Structure 1
Amino acid sequence: MPLKFHIVDVFAEKKYAGNQLAVFTEAASLSTEEMQQIAKEMNYSETTFIGSSQERDGGYDVRIFTPAKELPFAGHPTLGTAFILQYAIIQQSVETIVLNLKVGQIPVAMTYRDRSPDILTMKQNPPVFGDVVTAAAIAPVLNLDITDIDSRFPIQEVSTGVPFLIVPLKTLAALKRIKVNVDRLAEVVKSLQAKEVFVFCPETRNPANHFSARMFAPLLGIAEDPATGSANGCFAGYLAQHNYLEFASVDVRVEQGYEIGRPSLLLLKAQKQDDIIEVSVGGNVILVAQGEFV
């Protein structure tokens, strides 16, 4: 029986930008091994599989795979899959779609323009803050000078389901110069939960945006990711936790993916109240292709 799939660009302002995602809509008959093989065949950073067109416990069962392994959560697959659920399965305007992921239930809110989904926004789990790394340790990993790193803020592990090492830089020039030394990265992260590195600075190409960012995961088979919703959720929590903007709330636009020819825009919000930080990440999803595996 042919397997139907759709390809979307997530966090994209136009086609052929943002982060690519393949979504399989009729995956109930597939084994875990078959899903992994298909994800490897697609060879995108992630591929998702919708288990059923019917809700279970108020949400849709979805599994996320990289070419190498299954993930409990990932940002652009969450938004992209919610888009396809509305487009191909629900086929009517709804305010919220809930995905049942390995990390738990993740709601995705949807706004519309001309009856088509416009901005999709997911609420992520509250961020958890982990170990801190020194500038002296991380600078050689990125082939940067210690002076490129903003010493006012920590280099720290943060997770909303998937852990990332968040690295603050001073300038866009430094962000552009990064060349990851994989051997040194492996040495630095061997004792950490985070194996992925998210680097940001407060300078942007587009003056309408607030931050530029890059995300590297060579140890997981992703040299650089064009748009990383899970990492940006961690980043939003980081901004709130460390009072980076000197406000109690965060509402910012982040550009990512320019260095690899996939410009992306992510819309971040965070609110800290007592010791709890609420985080959401949003953006556009654009349908690019659809077809069948035979």
Structure 2
Amino acid sequence: MGTKIRRRATTSTTRPSTRGQAVPTRRATTASRTLPTRSPLGSNTVSPASRETYALVTVVTGWKATVGAVNGPDALDYEIVDVFAPRAFAGNPLAVVHDADALSTAQCQALANEFHLSETSFLCAPTEPGADYRVRIFTPYAELPFAGHPSVGAAHTLVRAGRLAAGTLRQECGAGVLDVVVDDEGATLSGGTPTLEDGPAAEELARALGLDPADVTGVPVEVAGCGLPFAYLSVRPDAVDRAVPDPAALRALSVGEGVSVLSWDAATATATARVFAGDLAWGEDPATGSAALGTGVWLVETGLLPGDGTTAFTVRQGEAMGRPSLLRCTVTAAAGKATATTVRGTVVPIASGRIRVPQG
């Protein structure tokens, strides 16, 4: 592993240079939020010639304040990126906060609530051997051990910002150390160990989603995942957009983190999906990498994809929310069981700036 990236401390005569990059976002309901603009005193970055390790950077500086700017040592750089996005202002928006090592859990939670996107990624130095960086992932309500679009967006942002070199990165998170392969356009995430358990009856889950039992296709519901488990309900194509969850009915069922209601097109190996949280705390999601990973496990288990070898498939999501998303996936199987999964998506920069660190 290479040497840690360090930035030299700044003084009144050595101001940080501007990174000069626009950045990406997650949730349709926050598309109209007014976000801080990036400070002209943005941090220096180092573009490593070889593999480097992300490290905490402390910048001591005399700030030259400008009207309306958020400056000073009690502020952190952040970016907003659209993940799994075929274009800007699509996909799933994500906030990425740099140099978050010194933040407490309460401070991370307060910042995630301030951004109020479905997730915020906080980038830190690694603590596990072999990891290149560590990410803490927060919804506005709680910390998650793992999630797909925060992992893809965080890794690509680190590379685009010059903190790490493109290629295979080792991400440390609450679910362990996972591989993320980053290139200019996006990133490919490898899921954790596949898990599988029986789900509720398809007709019962359909009713909890406001659908008629006649809408289901007869494919069994399973709760599957590669880090976070989701229930998968196969329905007719015209039923996907008619799903309206009943919060009480959905909470009464065992659906893991949530439910993916989808139609499967075998000819194109494409799932058209909508994903809802089990407790509806974050409602509907425009693109869910962890659910896409679990989709591969479910497809193999139900015989919709081959039980041996590696197969590619696509998940389309978010169109009902006006945030079309494209998740390109693979699943590897042996003896009828999924053994590994990947999900790939593009990452589009949308905004950048600085945000105050909460007290405490």
Output the TM-score relative to the length of structure 2: 0.74
Higher strand share goes to which structure? 1
CA distance in 1, matches of 2:158, 2:182: 12
Report how many aligned residue pairs link the two structures.
281
Tell me if the contact between 2:225 and 2:294 (Cα under 8 Å) persists in the aligned partners.
Answer: yes
* Equivalent AA in structure 2 for residue 102 of structure 1: G
CA distance in 1, matches of 2:180, 2:146: 13
Alignment match of 1:242 (pick from 280, 302, 326) = 302
* Cα 1:3/1:198, change in 2 over 3 Å: same
Tell me if the contact between 1:240 and 1:277 (Cα under 8 Å) persists in the aligned partners.
Answer: no
CA distance in 1, matches of 2:258, 2:338: 24
Higher helix share goes to which structure? 1
**1:261 aligns to 2:322 (yes or no):** yes
Matches within 5 A, 1:106-125: 106-111=178-183, 117-125=184-192
Give 2:63's aligned residue.
none
How far did 1:209 drift?
7.1
* Equivalent AA in structure 2 for residue 164 of structure 1: F
Alignment match of 1:282 (pick from 333, 344, 351) = 344
CA distance in 1, matches of 2:127, 2:246: 46
Q: Which moved more, 1:76-85 or 1:234-243?
A: 234-243
How far did 1:285 drift?
0.5
Tell me if the contact between 2:79 and 2:351 (Cα under 8 Å) persists in the aligned partners.
Answer: yes
Q: Which runs of 5+ in 1 are unaligned?
A: 112-116
* Equivalent AA in structure 2 for residue 100 of structure 1: E
How far did 1:280 drift?
0.3
Q: Taking every aligned residue pair, what percent have the same amino acid on both sides?
A: 33
Give 1:40's aligned residue.
113
Alignment match of 1:177 (pick from 230, 242, 245) = 242
Give 1:114's aligned residue.
none
**1:28 aligns to 2:94 (yes or no):** no
* Cα 1:8/1:217, change in 2 over 3 Å: same
CA distance in 2, matches of 1:278, 1:195: 20
State the Cα deviation string for residues 244-275 of structure 1 (Å, max 9, x = none): 03563321121100001100000010010244
**1:162 aligns to 2:228 (yes or no):** yes
CA distance in 2, matches of 1:53, 1:270: 28
Q: Which runs of 5+ in 2 are unaligned?
A: 1-72
Matches within 5 A, 1:1-294: 1=73, 2-52=75-125, 57-90=130-163, 92=165, 94-111=166-183, 117-151=184-218, 153-171=219-237, 173-189=238-254, 194-203=256-265, 210-217=270-277, 219-246=279-306, 248=308, 249-274=310-335, 275=337, 277-294=339-356
CA distance in 1, matches of 2:253, 2:163: 45
How far did 1:56 drift?
5.3
CA distance in 2, matches of 1:77, 1:89: 18
